[in-house]
Amino acid sequence: MSQPLSFENKNILVTGGAGFLGSHLCERLLGDGHRVVCMDNLSTGEARNIEALLQHTNFRFIRLDINQPFELENFSELAAFKVPFQGIQEIYHLACPTSIKNFDQFKIQTLLSSSLGNYHVLELAKKYRAKILLASSSVVYGSRQDGAPLVMETDQGSVDQLSPRACYDEGKRFSETMFETYRQVHSLEVRIARIFRTYGPRMPLFDGQLIPDFILNALDGKELVMYGGRGFRTSLAFVTDVIDGLVRVMDSPENPGPVNLGSDVDLALEDVAKKIIAMTDSSSQIVEGESMIFLSELSLPRIDRAKELGWFPLVRLEDGLRRTVEYMKANKILLTNL
């Protein structure tokens, strides 16, 4: 099979590019000198996340639902990228609805994104012989196991395929199966990154994501609601670390198999809330809230495989929270109006 042509400045497609992770990834890839096609239907992504990128000569935004068939060469706005000649060199596939409070609203779209959407994107990768990365999730391991919170990539997780949140959990497992099958059958260069809980600027607001809501409420002196309960534990990786991990996984010369990307430090979320209150000089109180289907305690990652790629989370929790607080302060009027 002939090898795809090599280009110094790649054409890179990012699906879900207007989302929290996707917008930071687009920004990073532009900074690395590549041409970026950002594709998003804005169901859970936000146009404001990519507003600063729209004037960049190497950035194009296409509002499109990947669950519908599409041909990149039909979009006149991509003419400058010479797609019929250069094609697409890399695809970062992040598109999948993610909403904690409004999870039920997007169940069918989530189901389709993890099947039909994958098919459309994988067929595109096959057409252009593009290297393709799946943004998978820690949910493939199932719930955290007592006494064994750490998981490695060779661990076989277990999820309930009939649970209220199965469209996402089982959807991510099936997504990995689809990508691996395309690798086996069509010799695609496939990469799989399993992303653990991530925080930072541009996280969705008022959606049960906890960290941004903690900060906004602390700035206003309102109660900080612990939806997972006071004993809720998790790991937290800062968004720029995770984006660096995605790029390293994509750039790996050989397929490393699935790679865990996240922090292996176990945190009590109540302690994180206390840090935010202290950081904002707030008088807010911490209270317990209702449980949510999409908010559960997940495993922590063993990151030995990521370390072999030269990756390690560098941003300390205190520094990441401070950067997120500064972003929320600077954009507070806009964010609260939204």
Answer for the pair 200, 324: CB distance below 8 angstroms, yes or no.
Answer: yes
Tell me the angle at which helices 166-186 and 118-128 cross, rounded to the nearest 10 degrees: 20
**166 vs 170: CA distance, rounded Å:** 5
Is residue 252 a contact partner of residue 236, using CB atoms and an 8 Å limit?
A: no
Identified catalytic residue from 168, 182, 199, 227: 168
Task: State how far the alpha carbon of 315 is from the alpha carbons of 52, 56, 135, 230, 260, in Å.
Answer: 24, 28, 21, 25, 17
**Residue 168 appears among annotated catalytic residues:** yes
Which structure tokens are listed for 30?
């532009």
Closest C-alpha to 94, from 30, 168, 192, 16 = 16
Do residues 37 and 81 touch, judged by C-beta distance below 8 A? yes
Beta bridge partners of 143: 298
- Rg of the Cα trace of the chain? 20
Helix or strand (DSSP H, E) at 84 = helix 83-86
Structure tokens at 284: 């807010």
| Catalytic positions, written as ranges | 168
